Amino acid sequence: MDISPVAYLVLTDSSQLTYDSQHLVHPTEIRTSISPSSAVELNTTSALANYATEAGIVKVEIEEANPHLRGGRVGNHLGKTTPSSPDRDSNLDLPVLSSRAQHDKRILVAGLWTVLVARECQGASILGVFPFPVKSMVILFTSLMEELATRGHQVTVMSFFPRDEPLENYTDIVLPNSFTEKGAMYNFGARRHGTIQLYTASKVVNKISDTVLAAPSVQRFIHSQDLHFDIVVVHDVAHMAFLGLAHKFNAPIIRIVNFAGYEWTFLEQGNPSVVSYNPHYLTGIEGEMSYWEKTENAYMILYELLLMDYFYIPVQEAIMRKYFGASVPSVSKLNSNTALILWCVDDVLSHHRPLLPNVIRVGGMHIKKPKKLPQDLQRFMDDATHGVIYMSLGTNLPSAYLPPEKIAAFIEIFTQLKQKVLWKWENGTLSGRPPNVKVAKWFPQQDILDHPNMRAFIFQGGLHSAQEALYHAVPVIGIPVLAEQLQNVRMIQKRGFGVLVDFFNLSSSSLKWALKEVLEDPRYKTNAQEASRLFRDQPETPLERAVYWTEYVIRHKGATHLRSASLTLSWYQYYLL
């Protein structure tokens, strides 16, 4: 149930994005469970408590200290084929490739390694800044932050969405979520060219950045004098105006890229751009490009770079200096202090490009061990003799806001199916709902995809949902609308475990064809299982990898040795002019 940041921003018209400063839901709220461990930076913990007390509207709970760092395997349960486990790989019919003794030995070695690493990286203070008003996106970022907290680091997260339950060593600074989005969030009416999507996204990020930094709670945080952080973790799309925090704390930067990524992100860190075989995600191109596709690709990349350099970055820099002072270095200078980029793509559903050692692929970092379904859902799926089809168009493309003729097409086809259907429907009851269809505003998507009776997943092509379907080996029907969704679904087509239905030509006949194709041709399931094997076969889980490299940067004080020498060169020096 994910949406890419660009898709969200394109759907949000910045001219209609307003902020009510008189009606703050949470002017400032910090919720924390602080464990004053010897491994934790007590000056930072104390400062946060003081900051909370001064604000007068926060709650700080101090619990019994645990003097030991937490070691062991992290909380991402991405299965691996060597060794595999019967429960993890049951849907793939994978063999168990190691004995129990070998497995125990591996666990022992991993545990010892974790303890040794933890001793080298004792209780850092980590700030996460995720000023993006999309909960499913922030959940991805906080999966890393939560794991860092369980390992003994003191983690502070600035976002719109605090945890439901307190977590030891984890502090939420809740941003004032008083945005109102009117009119454009659910505009399914027309195709938008990639250039329009990028421009719209830039305007919305500028509006969000200015609004969030102006909030009283954020201003108090900016002007606090007794806080310290060893590293600042940011969301790559909405981070530039917030780089002043990294400057204030003199901390290296880790950027999380949770979609295919801006070309600018990679270029400005010294990664080469290869126009001839690396298609821009907004072109929708997949596979070997023709001459005209290469021309389109070059145009799209050039447009993005010009937009960044002459519109987006200057505005972000002006916003940053408005709130952090005129003496703050330029955005380009601060960006050069990026120690690490955690890129949430995988090797199965993404294009391969040359990368520097400080760009780490962590696609699937958000995938967790499946939990037991609620009783009503469990019974619904268990009783589905012919299987279950699950449909969700993500967080910000709600099914309830589809044009009436497209809703009618889905209802017509679902009525004809012998399979049961779970439909994420955000607007109460569904008029004309067939008896084999169950609707709800929210479903536990990963747990549903893990059920053995799952037959097909209808979705909008979001990257993280695609990775979940890949992990659980579920064939898909992709209905892309914007951003990188088209490219994602075409990549799935290439892998042979899904089909594409054009949203703007969607009808009952196209849906009937797609469902018949995926449900009746066993090759789609076979290909999904094979792709899932490739995805799972990794030396460590993506979350383990993300944690390791985050701690690596902390241990090595920014790990400047991983950065490119090109960061010190001007453009004419780079091109030998």
Looking at the structure, do residues 343 and 388 belong to the same domain, yes or no?
A: no
Whether residues 45 and 138 share a domain: the answer is yes
Are residues 555 and 470 part of one domain? no
Whole-model pTM?
Answer: 0.82
Q: Measuring CA to CA, which residue among 242, 259, 12 is closest to residue 136?
A: 259
Question: Is 335 exposed, middle or buried (CB count within 10 Å of its CB: 0-12, 13-18, 19+)?
Answer: buried
Q: 245 in a domain, yes or no?
A: yes
In this structure, are 340 and 447 located in the same domain? no
Which 3 state secondary structure label does DSSP give 561?
helix
In a domain, 297, yes or no: yes
Q: Quote the Cα angle for 488-234-154, to 5°.
A: 125
Is the distance from CB of 31 to CB of 226 less than 8 angstroms?
A: no
**Spatial distance between the Cα atoms of 561 and 268, rounded to a whole number of angstroms:** 17
Q: 346 and 313 in one domain?
A: yes
Query: End-to-end CA distance of the chain, in Å?
Result: 48
Within-domain flag for 98: no
Residue 229 lies in a domain: yes
Number of Cα atoms under 13 Å in the Cβ half of residue 274: 11
450 shares a domain with 320: no
Tell whether 353 and 397 lie within a shared domain: no
User: Strands of 154-159's sheet, edge to edge?
Assistant: 59-62, 30-34, 170-174, 154-159, 125-130, 231-235, 253-257, 338-343, 359-361
- Shared-domain flag, residues 295 and 380: no
Classify residue 284: in a domain, yes or no: yes
Q: How many domains does the chain have?
A: 2
**Rounded CA gap, 448 and 49, in Å?**
40
Instruction: Classify residue 346: in a domain, yes or no.
Output: yes
Look up the domain containing 32 and give its range: 5-69+122-361+543-574
Q: Is the same domain home to 204 and 276? A: yes
Tell me, yes or no, whether 156 lies in a domain.
yes
Q: Give the Cα separation of 322 and 241 in Å (integer).
A: 9
Q: How far is 241 from 134, CA to CA, in rounded Å?
A: 19
Query: Tens of pLDDT along the chain (577 residues)?
Result: 565 666 555 555 554 454 444 434 333 344 444 443 333 343 455 556 555 544 433 333 323 333 333 333 344 445 444 334 434 444 454 433 344 455 455 555 555 555 455 445 578 999 999 998 888 788 889 999 999 999 999 999 999 999 989 999 999 999 877 654 433 344 555 567 888 888 988 998 999 999 999 999 899 999 999 999 999 999 988 789 999 999 999 999 999 998 888 899 898 899 998 899 999 888 888 888 999 999 999 999 999 999 999 999 999 999 999 999 999 999 989 998 899 999 999 999 998 999 999 999 999 999 999 999 999 999 999 999 999 999 999 877 788 889 999 999 999 999 999 999 999 998 878 999 999 999 999 999 999 999 999 999 999 999 999 999 999 999 999 999 888 899 999 999 999 999 999 998 999 999 999 999 999 999 999 999 999 999 999 999 999 999 999 999 999 999 999 999 988 888 899 889 8
210 lies in the same domain as 322: yes
CATH number of the domain that residue 128 is part of: 3.40.50.2000
Please state, in angstroms and as integers, the Cα–Cα distance from residue 301 to each residue in 267, 273, 274, 352, 382, following that order: 11, 9, 10, 17, 48
For residue 520, is it within any domain? Answer: yes
Task: Decide if 262 contacts 464 (C-beta within 8 A).
Answer: no
In terms of domains, do 552 and 461 share one? no
Same domain as 413, residue 320: no
- Looking only at the bridges linking them, the beta strands covering 30-34 and 170-174 are antiparallel
